[in-house]
Protein backbone atom coordinates (compact mmCIF):
# COMPACT_ATOMS: atom_id res chain seq x y z
CA UNK A 1 0.00 0.00 0.00
CA UNK A 2 1.26 3.50 -0.70
CA UNK A 3 1.94 5.80 2.23
CA UNK A 4 -1.30 7.76 1.83
CA UNK A 5 -3.29 4.54 2.16
CA UNK A 6 -1.23 3.44 5.17
CA UNK A 7 -2.05 6.76 6.84
CA UNK A 8 -5.72 6.30 6.01
CA UNK A 9 -5.61 2.76 7.41
CA UNK A 10 -4.16 4.07 10.70
CA UNK A 11 -6.79 6.79 10.91
CA UNK A 12 -9.58 4.28 10.26
CA UNK A 13 -8.18 1.91 12.88
CA UNK A 14 -8.12 4.75 15.41
CA UNK A 15 -11.69 5.86 14.65
CA UNK A 16 -13.21 2.36 14.41
CA UNK A 17 -11.42 0.86 17.42
CA UNK A 18 -10.76 3.61 19.88
CA UNK A 19 -12.47 6.92 19.27
CA UNK A 20 -15.42 7.12 16.86
CA UNK A 21 -16.57 10.24 18.74
CA UNK A 22 -13.42 12.05 17.50
CA UNK A 23 -15.26 12.43 14.16
CA UNK A 24 -18.75 12.54 15.68
CA UNK A 25 -19.61 8.89 14.95
CA UNK A 26 -21.17 6.19 17.10
CA UNK A 27 -20.65 2.49 16.33
CA UNK A 28 -23.46 0.00 16.75
CA UNK A 29 -23.24 -2.60 19.51
CA UNK A 30 -21.23 -4.92 17.24
CA UNK A 31 -18.84 -2.21 16.09
CA UNK A 32 -20.36 -1.55 12.64
CA UNK A 33 -20.92 1.84 11.08
CA UNK A 34 -22.37 2.68 7.65
CA UNK A 35 -19.65 3.41 5.10
CA UNK A 36 -21.56 6.54 3.93
CA UNK A 37 -21.67 7.87 7.48
CA UNK A 38 -17.99 7.15 8.01
CA UNK A 39 -16.94 8.96 4.81
CA UNK A 40 -19.22 11.92 5.62
CA UNK A 41 -17.79 12.12 9.16
CA UNK A 42 -14.21 12.00 7.89
CA UNK A 43 -14.99 14.68 5.28
CA UNK A 44 -16.51 16.89 7.98
CA UNK A 45 -13.23 16.53 9.89
CA UNK A 46 -10.93 17.50 7.07
CA UNK A 47 -10.23 14.10 5.49
CA UNK A 48 -11.98 13.60 2.20
CA UNK A 49 -11.76 9.92 1.37
CA UNK A 50 -13.28 8.34 -1.74
CA UNK A 51 -15.02 4.97 -1.92
CA UNK A 52 -12.14 3.77 -4.11
CA UNK A 53 -9.57 4.72 -1.47
CA UNK A 54 -11.59 3.03 1.25
CA UNK A 55 -11.91 -0.11 -0.90
CA UNK A 56 -8.17 -0.07 -1.51
CA UNK A 57 -7.49 0.08 2.23
CA UNK A 58 -9.94 -2.74 3.02
CA UNK A 59 -8.71 -4.99 0.20
CA UNK A 60 -5.02 -4.13 0.30
CA UNK A 61 -4.59 -4.43 4.00
CA UNK A 62 -2.03 -7.09 4.84
CA UNK A 63 -3.78 -7.84 8.12
CA UNK A 64 -7.36 -7.52 6.87
CA UNK A 65 -8.01 -5.18 9.77
CA UNK A 66 -11.41 -4.12 8.45
CA UNK A 67 -14.48 -6.12 7.49
CA UNK A 68 -17.25 -4.85 5.19
CA UNK A 69 -20.76 -6.28 4.91
CA UNK A 70 -24.12 -5.36 3.41
CA UNK A 71 -26.07 -4.00 6.36
CA UNK A 72 -29.75 -3.27 6.87
CA UNK A 73 -31.39 -1.73 3.80
CA UNK A 74 -28.42 -2.76 1.65
CA UNK A 75 -26.14 -0.07 3.05
CA UNK A 76 -22.52 -1.12 3.20
CA UNK A 77 -21.14 -1.21 6.73
CA UNK A 78 -17.58 -1.44 8.00
CA UNK A 79 -15.95 -2.39 11.29
CA UNK A 80 -12.51 -3.21 12.65
CA UNK A 81 -12.04 -6.97 13.01
CA UNK A 82 -10.23 -6.72 16.37
CA UNK A 83 -8.21 -4.44 18.61
CA UNK A 84 -10.99 -2.29 20.07
CA UNK A 85 -10.81 -0.37 23.30
CA UNK A 86 -14.40 0.94 23.00
CA UNK A 87 -17.01 -1.56 24.18
CA UNK A 88 -18.25 -3.63 21.24
CA UNK A 89 -19.46 -7.19 21.03
CA UNK A 90 -17.76 -8.76 18.01
CA UNK A 91 -19.76 -11.96 18.50
CA UNK A 92 -16.57 -14.01 18.45
CA UNK A 93 -17.09 -17.72 18.91
CA UNK A 94 -14.98 -19.64 21.29
CA UNK A 95 -12.64 -21.98 19.41
CA UNK A 96 -10.07 -24.57 20.37
CA UNK A 97 -6.65 -23.00 19.79
CA UNK A 98 -3.63 -24.59 18.11
CA UNK A 99 -1.37 -26.19 20.73
CA UNK A 100 1.15 -23.36 20.64
CA UNK A 101 0.58 -19.65 20.08
CA UNK A 102 3.13 -16.83 20.08
CA UNK A 103 3.34 -13.33 21.50
CA UNK A 104 5.84 -10.79 20.19
CA UNK A 105 6.78 -7.98 22.53
CA UNK A 106 9.63 -5.79 23.69
CA UNK A 107 12.42 -7.47 25.67
CA UNK A 108 12.07 -4.75 28.31
CA UNK A 109 8.52 -5.95 29.10
CA UNK A 110 9.68 -9.49 29.95
CA UNK A 111 10.26 -9.13 33.71
CA UNK A 112 6.79 -7.69 34.18
CA UNK A 113 5.20 -10.29 31.87
CA UNK A 114 6.98 -13.12 33.71
CA UNK A 115 5.66 -11.78 37.00
CA UNK A 116 2.07 -11.02 35.96
CA UNK A 117 1.50 -12.91 32.76
CA UNK A 118 0.16 -11.32 29.57
CA UNK A 119 -2.43 -8.69 30.36
CA UNK A 120 -4.89 -7.15 27.96
CA UNK A 121 -4.32 -3.54 29.00
CA UNK A 122 -6.63 -1.18 27.13
CA UNK A 123 -7.75 -3.79 24.62
CA UNK A 124 -10.52 -6.34 25.14
CA UNK A 125 -8.15 -9.31 24.96
CA UNK A 126 -4.54 -10.36 24.92
CA UNK A 127 -3.53 -10.75 21.26
CA UNK A 128 -1.66 -13.89 20.24
CA UNK A 129 -0.15 -14.82 16.87
CA UNK A 130 -0.54 -18.17 15.12
CA UNK A 131 3.10 -18.28 13.98
CA UNK A 132 6.56 -16.96 14.77
CA UNK A 133 6.94 -14.56 11.81
CA UNK A 134 3.66 -12.83 12.71
CA UNK A 135 4.73 -12.56 16.36
CA UNK A 136 8.07 -11.06 15.30
CA UNK A 137 6.26 -8.47 13.18
CA UNK A 138 4.00 -7.58 16.13
CA UNK A 139 7.04 -7.29 18.44
CA UNK A 140 8.91 -5.06 15.97
CA UNK A 141 6.27 -2.36 16.49
CA UNK A 142 7.98 -1.77 19.84
CA UNK A 143 11.27 0.00 20.50
CA UNK A 144 14.44 -1.96 21.12
CA UNK A 145 15.01 -5.70 21.14
CA UNK A 146 12.10 -7.96 20.25
CA UNK A 147 11.22 -11.00 22.36
CA UNK A 148 8.84 -13.76 21.32
CA UNK A 149 7.12 -15.83 23.98
CA UNK A 150 5.46 -19.17 23.36
CA UNK A 151 2.08 -19.73 24.92
CA UNK A 152 1.12 -23.26 25.92
CA UNK A 153 -2.38 -22.88 24.51
CA UNK A 154 -3.03 -26.63 24.70
CA UNK A 155 -2.52 -26.57 28.47
CA UNK A 156 -4.58 -23.42 28.85
CA UNK A 157 -7.46 -24.89 26.83
CA UNK A 158 -7.27 -28.09 28.89
CA UNK A 159 -7.51 -25.95 32.03
CA UNK A 160 -10.67 -24.30 30.69
CA UNK A 161 -9.38 -20.97 29.36
CA UNK A 162 -11.45 -19.60 26.46
CA UNK A 163 -9.85 -18.68 23.13
CA UNK A 164 -11.36 -16.77 20.23
CA UNK A 165 -10.12 -16.14 16.70
CA UNK A 166 -10.81 -12.79 15.05
CA UNK A 167 -11.93 -12.56 11.42
CA UNK A 168 -8.33 -11.77 10.49
CA UNK A 169 -6.68 -14.69 12.25
CA UNK A 170 -5.56 -13.08 15.51
CA UNK A 171 -6.02 -15.37 18.54
CA UNK A 172 -7.56 -13.72 21.56
CA UNK A 173 -7.84 -14.66 25.21
CA UNK A 174 -8.47 -12.77 28.43
CA UNK A 175 -5.18 -13.33 30.26
CA UNK A 176 -2.19 -15.65 29.99
CA UNK A 177 -0.88 -16.54 33.45
CA UNK A 178 2.93 -16.76 33.69
CA UNK A 179 2.98 -20.54 34.09
CA UNK A 180 1.77 -20.99 30.49
CA UNK A 181 4.58 -18.87 29.01
CA UNK A 182 7.82 -20.23 27.64
CA UNK A 183 10.64 -18.33 26.04
CA UNK A 184 13.54 -16.00 26.50
Residues in contact with ligand HQG by CB under 6 A are 13, 63, 65, 83, 105-106, 109, 112-113, 116, 118-119, 121, 123, 127, 138, 142, 170
Question: Which residue's CB is nearer to ligand HQG, number 67 or number 138?
Answer: 138
CB of 39 to ligand HQG, least distance (A): 21
CB of 74 to ligand HQG, least distance (A): 28
CB of 83 to ligand HQG, least distance (A): 5
Instruction: Give the distance, in angstroms, between the CA of residue 35 and the centroid of all CA atoms in the same chain.
Output: 20
Radius of gyration of the chain (CA): 18
DSSP string, 34-80: EHHHHHHHHHHTT----HHHHHHHHHH-TT--EEEEE-GGG-EEEEE
- Distances in Å between the Cα of 77 and the Cα atoms of 37, 67, 70, 169, 180 are 9, 8, 6, 21, 38
Question: Which residue's CB is nearer to ligand HQG, number 42 or number 172?
Answer: 172
Question: Which residue's CB is nearer to ligand HQG, number 15 or number 113?
Answer: 113
- Distances in Å between the Cα of 178 and the Cα atoms of 33, 69, 96 are 38, 39, 20
Question: Which residue's CB is nearer to ligand HQG, number 40 or number 169?
Answer: 169
CB of 44 to ligand HQG, least distance (A): 25
Amino acid sequence: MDSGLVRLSRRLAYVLRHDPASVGLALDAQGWVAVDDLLAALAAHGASVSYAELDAVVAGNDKRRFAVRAGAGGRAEIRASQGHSVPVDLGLEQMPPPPVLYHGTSATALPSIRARGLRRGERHHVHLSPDLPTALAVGRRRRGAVAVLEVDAAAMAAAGYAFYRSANGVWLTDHVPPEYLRGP
